[in-house]
């Protein structure tokens, strides 16, 4: 397995819808194994294929519940259903998230508290995940990546301006920007 470079917000692959996976091949299996290794090394709770430069509708996730119970898997060609958002501004203490494609930063973002995702796994078996809370946030975040949407694209105007300043300062607005988890210093 190999750790893959994480694409930073200016890379075009992050801003275009990903293509469906037509067949689960050895290349797809290797990609998923590498994505798990990259996600764990970063560390992150999810990773979408476009974040490693591959425009396919695949994401991995990994999270431990408060009781330590692991929740880990892969979803290929996912479909997402969510409850409508509660109106109002997000709570910065309870509704902030970050992203490996905009590392070392967190911003408040309102997400649906419940999500249902369907798709297939690496064996072609149906996947159906219905969750709430933090897990619902993870699924929505990773699904957005497959549609070319970064969480920073959903921020309010004030936070969006801050994102633009950070990106300019760190040089993240150019195509091909990436970092290697566990190797590169991301706090530039």
Give the catalytic positions in this structure.
142
**Entry field: residues in the chain:** 188
| Whole-angstrom distance, CA of residue 37 vs CA of residue 127 | 21
Distances in Å between the Cα of 104 and the Cα atoms of 78, 82, 89, 107, 168 are: 27, 27, 22, 11, 15
User: What is the DSSP secondary-structure string of 110-178?
Assistant: ---SEEEEEEE-TTS-EEEEEEEHHHHHHHHHHHHHHTT--GGGGS-HHHHHHHHHHHHHHTTTSTT-E
């Amino acid at each position: 397995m190999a750790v893959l470079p994480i694409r930073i917000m200016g890379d075009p692959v992050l801003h275009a819808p990903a293509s469906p996976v037509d067949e689960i091949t050895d290349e797809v299996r290797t990609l998923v194994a590498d994505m798990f290794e990259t996600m764990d090394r970063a560390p992150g709770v999810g990773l979408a294929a476009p974040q490693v430069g591959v425009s396919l509708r695949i994401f991995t996730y990994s999270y431990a519940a408060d009781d330590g119970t692991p929740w880990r898997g892969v979803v290929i060609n996912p479909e997402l259903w969510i409850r409508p958002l509660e109106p109002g501004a997000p709570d910065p203490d309870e509704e902030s998230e970050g992203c490996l494609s905009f590392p070392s930063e967190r911003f408040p973002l309102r997400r649906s508290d419940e999500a249902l995702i369907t798709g297939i796994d690496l064996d072609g078996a149906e996947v159906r995940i219905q969750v709430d809370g933090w897990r619902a946030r993870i699924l929505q975040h990773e699904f957005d990546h497959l549609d070319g949407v970064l969480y920073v694209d959903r921020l309010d105007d004030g936070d969006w301006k801050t994102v633009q300043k950070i990106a300019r300062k760190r040089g993240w607005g150019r195509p091909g920007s990436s970092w290697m988890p566990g190797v590169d210093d991301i706090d530039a």
